[in-house]
């Protein structure tokens, strides 16, 4: 870690509209992921594993479960000033909420003035990845630039899904242009089939960040967004550097998951990210002990697989099963179960993501679906089998055919 005071800011105030209905009653960073985690756990784990010990989480929409998770799970020792603190919108600059991620920082500048850091690491709260920020911080300090933007290589065919970074022709460590979802992206010089996509992670000199959000706050034509307004302003002034994730070396990473990063902002990407977890050699490895993903440790019994009254055996193949689950004569395949689920005799759960305390009754079928917490699938009922029937019951069905059942629904 650089011999400077480092402060972490996690931007966790977005509505998460594209993840509805999973965000109908919770903030996007509080959405469960991978059985036992919340999305925010990945950002916080990366910061804590990188040695940051003063971190704030800026929240806004439907933040109760997120605030509760941060306060109960991320309690660092108060010794030496270590903390992870949830900070809601406080309306310090008038009777208004955050109007963008840059405005969230502007309205929270008291936090920086209190701690007086040298460097500020700003990250999003809804990406699944591992990253050691130490090397990026060192690269930022060495560059002498105001901001350094983390970037990951993506196929050029996907350029229209990302904020794309084009390198400066004279200095490849600097950003020459920052383009939002371009249709005519240019490939990298050393890899024409790839582009650099912004990861939404930034390292700033603290004084430079304060100046930037204050100037942005005075602009009537700004959307007050970090990626859409702040970074382009630095690029225009020749003060933006780029950090290619290919340079990052996370302890314990495998060649298969070394540069994994996924934005889980849509139902389809959220579903696909879960499928990345369940292979025998997973695309994203949750079992890296050298760089753990931390979360709340539930006081729950182990999962159990038992025979039912008809002597049918509860089975699970290529799946993740969390604590407290009971598979009683049911079958689970290519799926992720959160805590305290029950799968009854003859039921089948295939290619699905199931949050906590869900009950799938006898002979029910759940396929290619996401079930939020406390859902009850009645005996013999189906989810994901007949999309027209799913829509008629008010369930969300994506264009790719993923059915989403909201919290507490009874499927009959």
Is residue 94 located within the same domain as residue 224?
A: yes
**Domain-located, residue 235:** yes
Same domain, 256 and 345: no
333 is in an annotated binding site: no
The response to whether 163 counts as a known ligand-binding position is yes
Residue 287 lies in a domain: no
Model pTM score: 0.92
- Of residues 95 and 131, more confidence is placed in 131
Please give the structure tokens belonging to residue 211: 């100046």
304: annotated binding-site residue?
no
CA distance 264 to 283: 15
What is the count of structural domains for the chain?
Answer: 2
User: Residue 95: which pLDDT band, with cuts at 50, 70 and 90?
Assistant: low
**Is pLDDT at 2 greater than 60 in this prediction?**
no
Is 400 inside a domain boundary?
yes
Q: What is the CATH number of the domain that holds 322?
A: 2.160.10.10
Does residue 1 belong to any structural domain of this protein? no
The last residue of one of the domains, among 275, 292, 326, is 275
316 and 169: one domain? Answer: no
User: Which domain, by its residues, includes 393?
Assistant: 304-411
Confidence of residue 78 (pLDDT cuts 50, 70, 90): low
268 and 318 within one domain: no
- Average pLDDT of the chain is 91
Q: Is the pLDDT of residue 1 over 60?
A: no
For 69, 321, 326, 327, 339, the CA distances from 302, given in Å and listed in that order, are 22, 9, 9, 12, 10
Q: Could you tell me if residue 296 is inside a domain? A: no
Per-residue pLDDT tens for 311-369?
Answer: 678 899 999 999 999 999 999 999 999 999 999 999 999 999 999 999 999 999 999 99
Residue 291 has pLDDT above 80, yes or no: yes
Please indicate, yes or no, if residue 285 is contained in any of the structural domains: no
The helix (run of H) or strand (run of E) holding residue 179 is strand 175-180
Residues 270 and 311 in one domain: no
Closest CA to 355 of 317, 390, 405: 405
100 and 192 part of one domain:
yes
Cβ pair 384, 403 in contact under 8 A:
yes
Same-domain check for residues 201 and 346? no
Q: How confident is the model at residue 247 (pLDDT cuts 50, 70, 90)?
A: very high
Structural domain includes residue 289: no
Query: Tell me, what CATH number does 174's domain have?
Result: 3.90.550.10
User: pLDDT tens digit string along 253-274?
Assistant: 988 888 999 989 899 999 999 9
Band (pLDDT 50/70/90 cuts) for residue 405 is: very high
What is the SS3 assignment for 273?
helix
pLDDT tens for residues 195-244? Answer: 999 999 999 999 999 999 999 888 888 888 888 889 999 999 999 999 99
Same domain? 236 vs 324: no
Indicate if 191 and 262 belong to the same structural domain: yes
Burial class (CB in 10 A: 0-12, 13-18, 19+), 118: middle
Residue 292 lies in a domain: no
Query: Are 152 and 271 contained in the same domain?
Result: yes
Confidence at residue 122, expressed as pLDDT on a 0 to 100 scale: 97
Tell me, yes or no, whether 267 and 338 share the same domain. no
């Amino acid at each position: 870690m650089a011999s400077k005071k480092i402060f972490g800011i996690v931007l966790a105030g977005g509505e998460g509209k594209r993840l509805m209905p999973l965000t109908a009653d919770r903030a996007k960073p509080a959405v469960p992921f991978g059985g036992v985690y919340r999305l925010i756990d990945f950002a916080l784990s990366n910061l804590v594993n990188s040695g940051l010990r003063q971190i704030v989480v800026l929240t806004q929409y439907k933040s109760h479960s997120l605030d509760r998770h941060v306060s109960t799970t991320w309690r660092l020792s108060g010794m030496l000033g270590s903390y992870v603190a949830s900070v809601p919108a406080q309306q310090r600059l008038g009777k208004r909420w955050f109007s963008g991620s840059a405005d969230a920082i502007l309205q929270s500048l008291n936090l920086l003035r209190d701690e007086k850091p040298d460097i500020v690491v700003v990250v999003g709260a809804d990406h699944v990845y591992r990253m050691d920020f130490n090397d990026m911080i060192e690269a930022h300090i060495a560059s002498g630039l105001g901001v350094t933007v983390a970037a990951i290589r993506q196929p050029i065919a996907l350029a229209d899904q990302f904020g794309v970074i084009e390198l400066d022709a004279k200095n490849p460590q600097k950003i020459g242009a920052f383009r939002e979802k371009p249709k005519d992206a240019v490939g990298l010089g050393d890899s024409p089939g790839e582009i650099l996509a912004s990861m939404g992670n930034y390292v700033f000199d603290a004084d430079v960040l304060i100046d930037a959000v204050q100037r942005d706050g005075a602009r009537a034509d700004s959307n007050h967004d970090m990626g859409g307004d702040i970074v382009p302003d630095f690029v225009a002034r020749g003060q933006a550097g780029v950090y290619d994730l290919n340079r990052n070396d996370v302890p314990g990473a495998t060649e298969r998951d070394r540069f994994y990063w996924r934005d889980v902002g849509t139902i389809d990407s959220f579903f696909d990210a879960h499928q990345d977890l369940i292979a025998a050699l997973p695309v994203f490895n949750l079992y890296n002990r050298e760089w753990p993903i931390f979360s709340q440790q539930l006081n729950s019994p182990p999962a159990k697989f038992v025979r039912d009254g008809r002597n049918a055996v509860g089975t699970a193949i290529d799946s993740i099963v969390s604590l407290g689950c009971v598979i009683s004569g049911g079958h689970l395949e290519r799926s992720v179960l959160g805590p305290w689920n029950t799968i009854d005799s003859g039921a089948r759960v295939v290619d699905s993501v199931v949050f906590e305390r869900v009950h799938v009754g006898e002979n029910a079928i759940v396929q290619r679906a996401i079930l939020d917490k406390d859902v009850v699938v009645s005996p013999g009922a189906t989810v994901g089998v007949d999309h027209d029937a799913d829509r008629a019951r008010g369930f969300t069905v994506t264009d790719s055919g993923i059915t989403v059942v909201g919290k507490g629904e009874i499927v009959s």
